[in-house]
Amino acid sequence: MRIKYDTKKKLAEQIFLLEILKGLWLTLRRLFSRSVTIQYPKERKELFPGFRGKHALIRDPETNQAKCVACMRCSSVCPARCISIRYSVDEKTRARKVDSYEINALRCIFCGYCEEVCPVNAIVLTEDYEYSDYTRQPFHFDMERLLKNWDEFLEKNNLEPDKYLNPFLRPRGLPLGELPAGKRIDVPEEWTYEGQVIWKDGKAVSAKEAASN
Ligand code: SF4
Ligand code: SF4
């Protein structure tokens, strides 16, 4: 298909260069409007809760090990197939023990499914987004690296391990009783099923309100 260009400009446009004047007017207006860019890295934007950044395995404060129980849900649900887990089974107790846990962060699409599906809140996408490098290898996170990511995230943000909340740790839209025990944690009301806003009779109401009517 041939593209047609309109070469017949109006005489006034040609004489007064209206397009240029329009451009200059736009530039002038932008000079006095509020800037949307920031001077990174001197300035940093405040991230919204649940921003999906660097992966980490949450360390259990009691055992000092990863909370992961090798249920394999995260690796099964991962659409990018970037999580590999190996585990062994204790012959006496039949409990699973994670032998290796790896994430290829270069393949990750940051959907958040892994953290949402984890029944014990062992995996999280932290709000850390500053982890560029020159080679690919540093983005193949093994278990040690994932635990270190967690420690570094807490330290950098001055957080207590058991005080950190991420909206994915308790998925919205499900009543408490339908969540695995490990996900029945206290979260702000707007993150809960009861605080969820739904559309009813042409207006937005909370799920709690809708259920009581
Ligand atoms: S965020 Fe999505 S793509 Fe990335 S590891 Fe988790 S499930 Fe896989
Ligand atoms: S879903 Fe959670 S507990 Fe299960 S294998 Fe993944 S990180 Fe471990």
Q: How far is the CA of 195 from the centre of ligand 1 (A)?
A: 27
* Domain assignments of the chain as residue spans, ordered by start: 55-169, 176-212
Ligand nearest to the CA of 123: 2
Could you tell me the two tokens for 212? 């009581």
Query: pLDDT tens track of the chain, all 213 residues?
Result: 666 666 666 776 777 788 888 999 999 998 888 888 899 999 988 888 789 999 999 999 899 999 999 999 999 999 999 999 999 999 999 999 999 999 999 999 999 999 999 999 999 999 999 999 999 999 999 999 999 999 999 999 999 888 888 888 888 778 888 899 999 988 887 777 777 777 777 787 777 777 776
For the chain, the C-alpha Rg in angstroms (whole number) is 25
CB 171 within 8 A of CB 118: no
Q: Determine the distance separating the centroid of ligand 1 and the alpha carbon of 30, expressed in angstroms.
A: 39
- Predicted TM-score (pTM) of the model is 0.80
| Cα separation, 54 vs 59, whole angstroms | 15
Alpha-carbon distance values, 37 to 50, 105, 125, 141 (Å): 22, 27, 25, 32
Helical residues (DSSP H) of 94-212, grouped into ranges:
113-117, 143-156, 207-212
CATH of region 55-169, choose from 3.40.50.300, 3.40.50.740, 3.30.70.3270, 2.60.120.560 = 3.30.70.3270
Q: Taking CB atoms and a 6 Å cutoff, what residues make up the pocket around ligand 1? A: 77-80, 82-83, 103, 108-114, 125
Q: Where are the extended beta strands (E) located within the chain?
A: 55-57, 83-89, 96-104, 123-125, 140-141, 197-200, 203-206
Tens of pLDDT along 38-90? 999 999 888 887 899 999 999 998 999 999 999 999 999 999 999 999 999 99
Which backbone phi and psi does 94 adopt, to 5 degrees?
Answer: 65, 15
How many other C-beta atoms can be found within 10 angstroms of the C-beta atom of residue 150?
Answer: 21
